C-alpha cells in the first residue's frame, strides 16, 4: 500500500492585500485566517488591491499563499518618487513594488528625485509595467519635509477619512462632560498625575496612589473614550478605519477627531475629565488583594515629563508629588522584579530625527529608566487585570474577547538563541528549556555596555511578533498567562473595544473577528510607517557623511552576506561576502560565524567592525557596507 500523504486540495478566496515589506497579508473572509504572500507570488498586486488568492499545502502541511490575479485596483492615483530607469522616468510608490510604473506623460515637468502625485493611465494587466502621468509636484528631494510627505503618502495617511466636529457636536461632547452620570465615582480630590514624554500630544492615562493600613491603593485612570464614542457612530467607524494614531515630528494623524484626542477625552491637568478607572488594592509586599473597574471623574493635578520625574526620584529636583512618586517607584520596582521571573527585559533603543539632524537618545532613556518603569509597570498590570476580567466574562457567558498574544519562539529560533547565549557566555549550549530568567541573566551581564542594545536587537529578531486575537494564548515576552490592551483608547482602536467589553456595552460580538484583523493591520501599518520614516532619515544622514568610517556590529550570518547594525543610526545593512578579503567562506555549524577556509578570518555575531558605506539605495531603503 502506498502510504505517501497526498497534498491537501488547494483553496481560493477573495481578499484585499495589505503590503508589508516585500510581501503582503491576505485574509480568508470565511475563516478569518491570515496568510502571508511572498513578493514572488504577488503577481503585480499593490497595497489594498482586491485579489483572488490561492492556498496550497505542501506535504509538510505548510500553507503557501499565491495571488492568482488582481480583481480590482484600490486606487488610480499615488504619491511617488521619480527615478531614472533605462532612459525613462519611472515612479516608486514604495520599496519593491510588484508592479513597476513608467511615466509616459510628464505634464508638470517633474525631475528625478521629485515627490509627485501620479495617475495610472493604463494598468496593462497582462504586462509587467503600468503607464502613468504626473499630476503635480509635491516636493523636491532636497526639501526637509520630503521624507515625511513620502511616508504619509505611501501609507495613505492623508487619504484617511476626516471627521470635522462642528460647533453643535462639540457642544454635545462638552455637555456630556459637564452632565456626568450620577453613577460615576468622584475622584477629583485624590492627588493625580500624568507622566509622559516631553512631546506628548494626548494623555490617555493618569496615576494616583494612597497609603493604607493594609498597604496601598493604586488607581490607574484611563481616558473614558467609550463614553463619548458610541459603537457604530460616525466617529467610531472612522476610528475603526484608522485603527491607530500615527505620530511623526511634523504631524500627528489622530485616530479620533482632534477635539476629542487632545482636549475632551485627554486627561489634561487642571480640568475635570471622565475616566475608566482600575483601582488595585495591594498589601505591603505589593501583592494584589482585590481590584475593581469603574467609571470616574478625575482632575489631574499636574502633567509631569519622564525627565522631571527622574530628577525628583534621583533627588536633584523637588515636587509637590514627591511622596506619590516615591511610593510609585517602590511599587513598580517590586512589580518589575516579580514580572521578570517569567518575562523578558529588553533594553529601550530609539533614534530621533529633528529635521535632518539625528538625536540618538539611548543615554537619556537610561537616565530616565525609573520614570519609564513607573508608567510601564502600571500599564502592564492594568492590561493584565483587564485580560483576566475579559476571560471571566467569556467563561461565564461563552463569549470571545480581544487579547494581545505573543507566542513562544519556534524550535529553530530557540536553538539559535541558546547558541547566542552560549557564544557570549563562552559556555556550551544548554539543553535545558529556554526560560526568561536565562535570557534576562544573559542580557544583564552587558548592562551599560555598547553590546546591550545590539544583543537585544539580535534576540528580538528571533522572537515572534505580538498580535491581537479573539482567543487568549498568553504573552511570552511579558511572562503573562493573559494580556490585552486597555490603557490607550485615544490612540488604539483595540483598547476602545476592550473598554466596551469590560463595560459589557459591546452590542455586536460578531464584529470582533473583523475588528481584530483591522487592529492587527492598523498596528502593523503604524509601526512600518514609523520604521520607514526613521530608515529614510538614517539613509540620508549616512549619505551626507561621505567617506567616513563607522562602527558596525554583526547581527546575523548568511552564506552570501553578513547583516550588520551601524551603531549611530542603528540602521540594519548588509555586507556582501564577495567584498570580504578573498577566500572561500563557510557558515559555522552553530550559524554564528563566517569562517575563511584558508585565511581563517572569522566574522562572528556580536563582533565590532569598522565599516564604510558601499552603496545606498534610497528607493528600496537599503544600505550595503564594506569592512574597512
pLDDT in tens, 199-231: 888 999 999 999 999 999 999 999 999 999 999
Per-residue pLDDT reduced to its tens digit, 379-403: 999 999 999 999 998 877 767 899 9
Q: Tell me what pLDDT residue 365 has.
A: 41
* Other beta carbons within 10 Å of 301: 19
DSSP code for 406: B
* Alpha-carbon gap, residue 219 to 196, rounded angstroms: 17
CA distance 575 to 568: 17
DSSP label at residue 439: H
With contact defined as beta carbons under 8 Å apart, do 346 and 436 qualify? Answer: no
DSSP string computed for 224-281: -HHHHS-TTSHHHHHHHHH-B-EE-SS-EE-SS-HHIIIIISS--TTSEEEEEEEEEE
Residue 144 has what DSSP assignment?
A: T
The CATH code for residues 77-143 is 2.40.50.700
402 and 390 Cβ atoms separated by less than 8 Å: yes
What dotted CATH number matches 11-72? 2.40.50.140
Q: Tell the burial category of 220 from Cβ atoms under 10 Å away from its Cβ (0-12, 13-18, 19+).
A: buried
Say which CATH architecture domain 545-627 belongs to: Beta Barrel (2.40)
Closest CA to 381 of 302, 465, 312, 479: 479
pLDDT at residue 4, rounded to an integer = 42
Distance CA(170)–CA(256), nearest Å, equals 13
Q: Are strands 18-20 and 23-27 parallel, antiparallel or unpaired?
A: antiparallel
pLDDT of amino acid 393:
84
What interhelical angle do 306-313 and 322-339 show, nearest 10?
Answer: 90
Question: DSSP of 279-293, one letter per residue?
Answer: EEEEETT--EEEEEE
Residue 355 neighbours by CB distance under 10 Å: 10
Other residues' Cβ atoms within 10 Å of the Cβ of residue 397? 10
CB atoms within 10 A of CB 335: 21
User: Same CATH topology for 11-72 and 77-143?
Assistant: yes
Task: Give the span between the Cα atoms of 492 and 45, in whole angstroms.
Answer: 28
Q: Which three cell numbers stand for residue 367?
A: 537616565
CA distances from 315 to 54, 318, 322, 370 (A): 63, 7, 10, 13
| Helix pair angle (512-543, 493-502), 10° resolution | 150
CB 132 within 8 A of CB 119: yes
Domain ranges for the chain: 11-72, 77-143, 167-408+464-534, 411-457, 545-627
- Predicted local distance difference test score (pLDDT) of residue 422: 87
pLDDT value, residue 59: 62
**Positions in the chain short of pLDDT 50:** 1-9, 361-367
Task: Return d(Cα 49, Cα 73) in angstroms, integer.
Answer: 5
Question: Coil, helix or strand for 172?
Answer: helix
pTM to 2 decimals?
Answer: 0.91
Provide the pLDDT for residue 353. Answer: 72
Alpha carbons 378 and 360: distance in angstroms, whole number? 27
Amino acid at each position: 500500500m502506498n502510504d505517501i500523504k497526498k497534498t491537501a486540495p488547494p483553496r481560493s478566496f477573495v481578499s484585499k492585500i495589505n503590503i508589508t515589506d516585500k510581501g503582503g497579508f491576505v485574509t480568508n473572509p470565511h475563516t478569518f485566517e491570515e496568510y502571508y504572500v511572498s513578493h514572488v507570488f504577488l503577481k503585480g498586486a499593490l497595497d489594498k488591491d482586491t485579489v483572488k488568492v490561492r492556498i496550497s499545502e505542501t506535504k509538510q502541511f505548510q500553507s503557501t499563499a499565491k495571488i492568482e490575479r488582481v480583481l480590482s485596483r484600490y486606487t488610480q492615483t499615488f504619491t511617488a518618487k521619480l527615478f531614472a530607469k533605462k532612459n525613462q522616468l519611472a515612479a516608486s510608490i514604495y520599496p519593491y513594488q510588484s508592479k513597476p510604473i513608467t511615466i509616459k506623460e510628464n505634464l508638470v515637468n517633474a525631475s528625478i528625485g521629485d515627490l509627485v502625485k501620479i495617475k495610472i493611465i493604463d494598468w496593462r494587466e497582462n504586462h509587467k509595467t503600468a503607464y502613468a502621468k504626473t499630476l503635480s509636484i509635491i516636493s523636491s528631494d532636497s526639501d526637509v519635509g520630503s521624507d515625511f510627505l513620502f511616508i504619509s503618502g505611501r501609507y495613505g495617511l492623508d487619504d484617511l477619512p476626516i471627521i470635522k466636529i462642528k460647533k453643535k457636536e462639540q457642544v454635545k461632547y462638552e455637555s456630556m462632560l459637564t452632565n456626568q452620570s450620577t453613577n460615576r465615582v468622584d475622584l477629583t480630590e485624590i492627588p493625580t498625575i500624568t507622566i509622559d514624554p516631553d512631546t506628548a500630544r494626548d494623555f490617555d492615562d493618569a496615576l494616583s496612589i494612597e497609603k493604607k493600613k493594609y498597604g496601598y491603593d493604586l488607581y490607574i485612570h484611563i481616558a473614558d473614550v467609550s463614553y463619548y464614542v458610541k459603537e457604530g457612530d460616525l466617529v467610531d467607524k472612522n476610528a475603526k478605519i484608522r485603527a491607530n494614531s500615527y505620530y511623526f515630528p511634523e504631524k500627528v494623524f489622530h485616530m479620533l477627531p482632534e477635539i476629542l484626542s487632545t482636549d475632551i477625552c485627554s486627561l489634561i491637568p487642571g480640568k475635570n475629565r471622565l475616566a475608566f478607572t482600575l483601582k488595585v488594592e495591594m498589601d505591603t509586599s505589593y501583592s494584589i488583594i482585590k481590584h475593581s473597574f469603574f467609571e470616574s471623574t478625575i482632575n489631574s493635578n499636574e502633567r509631569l515629563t519622564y525627565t522631571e520625574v527622574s530628577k525628583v526620584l534621583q533627588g536633584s529636583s523637588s515636587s509637590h508629588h514627591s511622596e506619590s512618586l516615591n511610593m510609585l517607584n517602590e511599587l513598580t520596582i517590586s512589580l518589575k522584579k516579580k514580572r521578570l521571573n517569567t518575562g523578558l527585559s529588553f533594553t529601550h533603543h530609539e533614534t530621533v530625527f529633528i529635521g535632518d539632524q539625528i538625536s540618538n537618545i539611548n543615554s537619556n532613556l537610561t537616565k530616565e529608566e525609573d520614570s519609564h518603569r513607573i508608567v510601564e509597570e502600571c500599564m502592564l498590570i492594568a492590561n493584565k487585570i483587564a485580560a483576566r476580567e475579559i476571560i471571566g466574562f467569556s467563561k461565564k457567558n461563552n463569549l470571545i474577547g480581544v487579547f494581545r498574544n505573543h507566542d513562544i519562539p519556534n524550535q529553530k529560533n530557540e536553538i539559535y538563541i541558546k547558541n547566542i547565549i552560549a557564544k557570549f557566555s563562552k559556555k556550551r549550549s544548554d539543553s535545558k528549556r529556554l526560560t526568561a530568567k536565562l535570557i534576562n541573566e544573559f542580557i544583564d551581564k552587558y548592562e551599560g555596555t555598547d553590546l546591550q542594545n545590539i544583543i537585544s536587537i539580535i534576540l528580538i529578531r528571533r522572537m515572534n511578533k505580538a498580535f491581537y486575537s479573539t482567543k487568549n494564548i498568553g504573552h511570552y515576552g511579558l511572562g503573562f498567562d493573559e494580556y490585552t490592551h486597555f490603557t490607550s483608547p485615544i490612540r488604539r482602536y483595540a483598547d476602545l473595544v476592550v473598554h466596551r467589553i469590560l463595560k459589557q456595552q459591546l452590542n455586536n460580538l460578531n464584529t470582533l473577528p473583523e475588528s481584530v484583523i483591522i487592529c492587527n493591520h492598523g498596528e502593523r501599518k503604524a509601526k512600518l510607517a514609523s520604521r520607514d520614516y526613521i530608515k529614510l532619515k538614517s539613509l540620508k544622514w549616512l549619505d551626507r557623511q561621505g567617506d567616513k568610517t563607522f562602527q558596525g556590529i554583526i547581527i546575523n550570518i548568511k552564506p552570501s552576506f553578513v547583516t550588520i547594525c551601524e551603531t549611530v543610526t542603528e540602521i540594519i545593512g548588509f555586507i556582501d561576502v564577495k567584498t570580504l578579503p578573498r577566500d572561500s567562506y563557510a557558515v559555522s555549524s552553530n550559524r554564528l560565524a563566517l569562517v575563511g577556509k584558508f585565511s581563517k578570518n572569522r566574522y562572528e555575531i556580536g563582533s565590532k567592525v569598522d565599516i564604510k558605506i558601499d552603496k545606498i539605495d534610497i528607493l528600496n531603503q537599503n544600505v550595503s557596507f564594506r569592512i574597512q
